[in-house]
Structures are given as C-alpha cells and as structure tokens.
Amino acid sequence: MSRQILIIGKPHSGKTTFLAQLYGRLETGVNEMKLYESVANLTPIIEALKCLAAGEEVKATPTDRVTGIILPISRKGEKIDVYCPDYGGEQINHIIENREVSDNWIESIMQSDNWLLFIRPSNVDTSFDLSNKTLTPESLEKVQNQQDEYTITDQSAYIELLQILLYLKGHDAHTVNTTCKLTIVLTCWDEVRDEDYPYQKLQRILPLFTRFIEGNWIQENINVVGMSALGFSLKEGNNREKFLTQGPENFGYLVLPDGSEVTDITQLISLAI
Amino acid sequence: MVGKCKISECAAPDLPCHLGNEDLINCPNFVEQTVEKKVRRGKDVSEQENTVIPWSGEALFTKELHIVSSRSSPILFGIVGKADAGKTSFLGMVYTLLLNGRMLKGFKFSGTRTIEGWDQLHHRLRLRKGSVSFPPPTPVSSNRIYHLALRQDNTLRDVLFSDASGEVFSTWAINRDDDNAEIARWVYKNSNGFMLFIDCEALAKEKNVAKREIMLIARQLLHDLKERPVIAVWSKADKLPDVLPNLKDTIKQELKALFPIYNKIEVSNFLEPGPDEIVHENNFAVIDWLLEKSIQPSDLELRVDPVLTNDLFLNYRGHE
C-alpha cells in the first residue's frame, strides 16, 4: 500500500518543470529517494525532459490535456506515489469557473492526505492592494471608458479551490483540519527571491488566502516552501550551457520553511508527507 | 428558464426581470443557458463524469440559505438605510480589507460560500483620492446575502450580511405592511443586529429632508426590536464637516434615546495615504461591535436534578 501525494496547481505554475526535474533526480538513483518501478507513462513530461537536457526552457503544457502522471517513489522502504492528475492545470480552472469536478479528481482527493499546491508568485495578481484601488484621474477616465470585465481575483480563486477540495474530501467545516497535510510550494522562487521567508512571501502576496489556511488547518499540517526547480532562468546562454554540459538534475533548489536552502528538491516529498 | 442576466445586479430568473419583462426571452440582457454552454470548455474535461459543486459562489438568495444554515445557525446582520447611502460599498470595502489581510477582532477567517459575490463587490469598488465611484444601485427586487465563516476559538460562526435595496426600507419605513416592503420585513424579522446607514452627503445637501427619512427608518426599526443591537453607521463621513452641527447633534441624541443597545461610528471609502481610521479601522469596527453584542457567552450551566427512581431506563447516564 503506497501513500499518495497529490499535486495541485493552475496552468503555468511550474508542475511540469518540477516533475521533470524530480524524475531526473530519481532516475540517477543517488538520492535517498528512488523509483520503485518504472513510470508507466512518461508522455506528460517527456517533452520537458528533452527541453531541459538541451538547456531549453520547458514549453507551456497545452492546457486541454487531462492526462495524469504518477511517479512511484520509495524512501527507506516506504512507497510514495506522487500523482498529478492534471499536469496542464486546466481542470483546476474548470473547477473554479464551472464548478464541476471530474470523478478522476474526486478519487484523487479522497485517496490523498498530502496535498502539494503549486503557486507561482510572479503570476499572482495583487490588485487587491488598497494602493492599487487608488486611481489617478487619467486612469479613472480610462477605466470608465472600458467595458468593466470581471475576473475573479487570484486570492478568491485559490480560497474557493481549497474550499471545494475540502468539501469533496468530506471535511467537517466545524473543525480544523488535522488529517490532511497541505504544503504550499511557491515556484520559480528565483523570480521573486528577497529577504522574505516563504511563509512571509505567501502572507505578502496572498494575505487572505494565508488567513484561510490558518483558519482551517492546524499549524503542524501547513508547510510553505520556496522552490526554483531549475535554479535560474534558462533565457541566458551561460545557464543553458550549464544544463547542457552538467545535466539539469544538478540544478534547482528548495527554500525550506526556516529559510535555509537545499539543492535536493526531492526533499519536497519528505516535507509533504 | 435557465440562464442569467448580463446586468450583474439583476436577479432574473430567480426574481422578476429588472426591466419588467414578463417573458425573459424578450429581455435583451437575458442570456438563456443552453446545454452547449454548460460544456463550453475543453472536450476532454466535459467528456468525463462530473460532480457539480452545490453552491455557486455568488451572493445567496433567501431560498438558498440552507447552504449555510444546514450546518449551523447563522448570525444575520441587516444593513438598513435609504438608497445610495453606501451600504453595498461598505460591503465592498470590507472584502477589500479582508483581501489585504485585515481580520475581525478575535476571529479567524474560515471561508465563505459567497466568495464570487464578495469578489465582485471588491471589483466594483472604485476609489480615488477625493471621490468615490459607487457600484450601481441594488435592484429593488433583490436581497443579496453575503456570507463569512469565522472561527472563534474552536467554534465556527456563520455570519450573513443582507444587502437589500434602499427603496424597500424607505417604503417599509412609511408602511411596514406595504406589499412592496416584503424584503425589508424579511430582513427585519430575521436579523440578529442592524447597521443603520446615515448618508452624510445627503444630510449635507438635503438637510432636514434627509434627516426625516433617516428617522422614519430608525423609528420603524424600533417597533419589534427587543434586545437586538443597532449601530448607526455615518457613511461618507468625509462629508460630515458639511453637515449642519445642530442637525448632526439632534440625530445623534434622538438615535441614542431610541435604541437600548446602541453604538455609532463613522466610515468612508475616501482614501488618504497611510492608515486611515474611517476607511480601514471603522469598517471592521462596525462588524466587531455587532458580533460582540450578538454572540453572548452563556453563563448558564445546565443542571440536571438527580432522578429518584428505581427505573433502569431513567437512571441510565451513559458510560460514565
């Protein structure tokens, strides 16, 4: 019987890049974690593996794909299946916008007590900030001339997503969650790296969402980490060369909750358990 | 007919069309929902069996309150006041402050079943230094209810805010049995506490005419109030200096004399740089006070008299 870690993330949150880098680490067999059997279907990450080997950025996954991927990992004899039912992330948007959840997702939610939620801070909209609500006369005029199209804010969307997942999990809203562990992964950390610890960063970019998880999980079951699965941008030629000559599996890092940095990104799996 | 009006304030088809069209098919703003629309996103997704989430995320109608009341006895706060008094803007500012990480005193945020409703209020709130662009008026036929799930220690509190049109309260203030005041009657009957909105801008412009309307609503609030708290919310308080001092003082004295559990506060959406008490602090202080007055800790201990009988059934106390 294996434990299942569920990877959740909107499109372009870095799931595919992480899975490809994780697979690369597991494949070498030199880490504490290994694959306990070969991966049945590598299709979802094969393009990413090829790109990274060539020192190229991973292309955005077509979001209409709903194929899942399972990485069967063993750690000290314990079997852990890292499962991403929707590596394109489109179903996450579908859940929030259309308020429908596929049986595939429900089964995944029911089977996993360890959730990894991928959020890319540089993609998060912070228009909730009061300073952004203060318009200049010019911008007000521009806004008044525009069709006022509404799209849900990222904060509200993430809160609603977790509310829906908790509901499907059968969580009793009267109690704080003590069974399901939630690890928030702030991806592409190299894009937003500063003095903040990951938890502080989450509070800064998604304050109400942070309040929401604090109000629904016991503190011991929440982890917030930063991760740069590549370590740096591959837009620069020097960096591409490093990947090409040394192998992508030798790059990337994780920023642990205490702010310390480790290069072994497989530690994310240990944290999530 | 299944579908939705393009005008977000219109509650059709749940309530009559805001333009008065008896048959919604004749309304240019109404979009009928078809089966094709339901599956508009990616074939791969829609081909699977899907479970529909039982709440929409939008503000609740009264007939949908079971979504919240099935799990607890919610606390409802009625937001009362004439049209254009800033009631909807107040709620928009509350959610904007929540999004910024501000929290009600003594509570943790546990979620909301109306997150899209709140988010839309936030979206429509337009601020700029020196003036505020208010959201469109709330339709007369509409009573939108917004929800917050709050956790106090280990207890879940479901809190609801009713946002009905100001016109229904003006009608109700004159005749509480008026056919067109049904929503106001519902709010009055079911609320655990009230925010009475006093529009400073209207007071500054219309003087005693505006006062008359405020006091009519206030007196109607009194008729079956019992121990329910009332807080007078002086909205658009940046215009308070323009209100005649004697008018302001008279209203304050009269309201204080009317209500047994009473408080007053000034709020505004007028934004100054830096911490701004009437924008940031007081919007939450309104709810803090109502919650404090509505959630009374019970000092009563349940005492069970000893049963003096030989009946085994009546003597059973469980596994003690």
Nearest-CA neighbor of B217 among B267, B159, B168? Answer: B168
Gap from A70 CA to chain B (nearest CA, Å): 19
- Across residues B147-172, what is the average pLDDT? 94
Interface confidence (ipTM) of the complex: 0.90
Burial of B134 (0-12, 13-18, 19+ CB in 10 A): middle
Positions of E strands within B155-306:
155-164, 193-199, 230-235, 262-266
C-alpha–C-alpha distance, residues A222 and A238, integer Å? 37
* B:252-311 residues touching chain A, CB 8 A cutoff: 271
- Across residues A144-163, what is the average pLDDT? 84
* Averaged pLDDT score across all residues of chain A: 87
Reply yes or no on whether the pLDDT at A90 is more than 70.
yes
Q: What are the chain B neighbours of A94 within 8 Å (beta carbons)?
A: 41-42, 45
HSE-up (13 A, CA, CB side) for residue A108:
22
Closest residue in A to B117 (Cα) is A152
In B241-316, which ranges are continuous DSSP H helix?
245-258, 282-294, 312-315
- Across residues B51-55, what is the average pLDDT? 90
* Averaged pLDDT score across all residues of chain B: 83
Q: Which of residues B309 and A238 earns the better pLDDT score?
A: A238
Choose the most confident range, by mean pLDDT, from A26-35, A39-48, B230-239: B230-239
Reply yes or no on whether the pLDDT at A200 is more than 90.
yes
Cβ contact (<8 Å) for A216 and B110?
yes
Give the pLDDT score at B43.
Answer: 36
Per-residue pLDDT band at A215 (split at 50, 70, 90): very high
Closest residue in B to A143 (Cα) is B126
- Across residues A123-148, what is the average pLDDT? 61
Gap from B113 CA to chain A (nearest CA, Å): 8
Cβ contact (<8 Å) for A211 and B71?
no
**Strand pairing partners for B126?**
B133
3-state SS, residue B126: strand
Give the pLDDT score at B44.
Answer: 44
Give the pLDDT score at B50.
Answer: 82
C-alpha–C-alpha distance, residues B103 and B35, integer Å? 41
**Strand pairing partners for A177?**
A217
Per-residue pLDDT band at A243 (split at 50, 70, 90): confident
pTM comes to: 0.85
Nearest-CA neighbor of B288 among B312, B303, B267? Answer: B267
Per-residue pLDDT band at B40 (split at 50, 70, 90): very low
